[in-house]
Amino acid sequence: MAFDILMPALSPTMTEGKLLRWLKKEGDTISAGQVIAEIETDKATMEVEAVDEGILGKIFVPEGTEGVAVNTPIAVLIEEGEAVPDQAATPKATTPQKPAEAAPAAPKAAAAPSSQKAAPVPAAQSAGTPTGRIIASPLAKRIAKEASIDLTDLKGSGPNGRIVKRDVEAAKTRGPAKPVTATATTTVPAEAEIVPMSSMRKVIARRLTEAKTTIPHFYVSVDVQLDALLSLRHQLNTASPAEGDDAFKLSVNDMLIKAAAITLRRVPGLNVSYAPDAVVHYPSVDISIAVSIPDGLITPIIRNVDKKSLREISNEMKDLVARARVGKLKPEEFQGGSFSISNLGMYGISAFSAIINPPQAGILAVAAGEKRPVVKGDSLAIGTVMTATISVDHRVIDGALAAQWMSVFRSVVESPISLVV
């Protein structure tokens, strides 16, 4: 009996995706577990496995189709000798497809402790989706598509901010949007190139605007001497085997990630997030690392960082970054986290402050290590100094607590023996 292959939900909050590529064609014999298609979300590209065997009778959604809603029939599987239906099969075919591992050889991210599930859900998650996806009713989407209305410009009036029919109808009444302008008074020159935003860039724009306008940021900066840490890094890398499973090459960033994790354990008041009438205290230290990718930014997560060795952190970081840049991260590898780090030191930046990654309450901005004059005893000397700046959510973290955290972070980096014991 024919049954549908459905658009899978690759995360609990996914509502739609792009059918990037079919790996099987009509008439092919399919067995359970075979990868049949690739689905693109705004953060990653994932493979989809068949959950049953049969013949791929008909493809309903062609390659390259965007905005395919979850559980929409994308193809139909038939038995040998069975007639190919012209449309989706019976309601029996509601078994969702299983997303395949994005990279089978890569280690899986550690699951968050079960106790974390009992924490109150932060407002940024309950009112929307962690990945910034647009929630809209199917009717609203259809009307918007017919009227060429961009749903990212609308604010939903339905439950939990859901965009419904009346929101789209109101947008139609308002008429077309005003021409794009470079400033409030200057129109973009006719010869300027207008490049439409990708889905990822739209999400980034919306989330950062919400973060900067709704979260009261508070900043604390400190200069940190890196000489002892650099010396330890050199010793450890020199001691590493040249090759094999035990080989490693530590970066300064790897060591700063571990230093931040140790600091979060010593000053747990920053391992929190804001929720209405509550402060969410996370039981594990899960650090999101800002990684630049071709069309934006993604924050893969190293979980339980304080319990991992520098070698484990380094190897996991390299794997996450490599897969992030080719869109192969699984949703659980970039959704969540209790704290973030953004490092622009490789660009020679002397200092900067970062925007908080909601629902988290803190992000550490790491600049370049520079040769500067330092006082040692009663004498001047030359040392390698880095300026670090933390941005915190002032609703749940006071300035004194942020200053305490930065003081402890500096002491951990300047006396780095705790990174290896």
Residues acting as catalytic residues = 394
Contacts of 326 (CB under 8 A, 6+ apart): 45
Q: What is the DSSP letter of 335?
A: S
Torsional class of 348: left (φ above 0), alpha (ψ -120 to 50), beta (otherwise):
left
Q: What is the DSSP string of 105-154?
A: TSPPPPPPPGGGGGSPPPHHHHSS-TT-PPPB-HHHHHHHHHTT--GGG-
Find out whether 288 and 33 touch, Cβ atoms under 8 Å: no
Contacts of 248 (CB under 8 A, 6+ apart): 237, 240, 310, 311, 314, 315
Pair of tokens at residue 13:
């909050």
Residue 231's identity, in one-letter code, is: S
Instruction: Return the axis-axis angle of helices 138-146 and 165-174, rounded to nearest 10°.
Output: 20
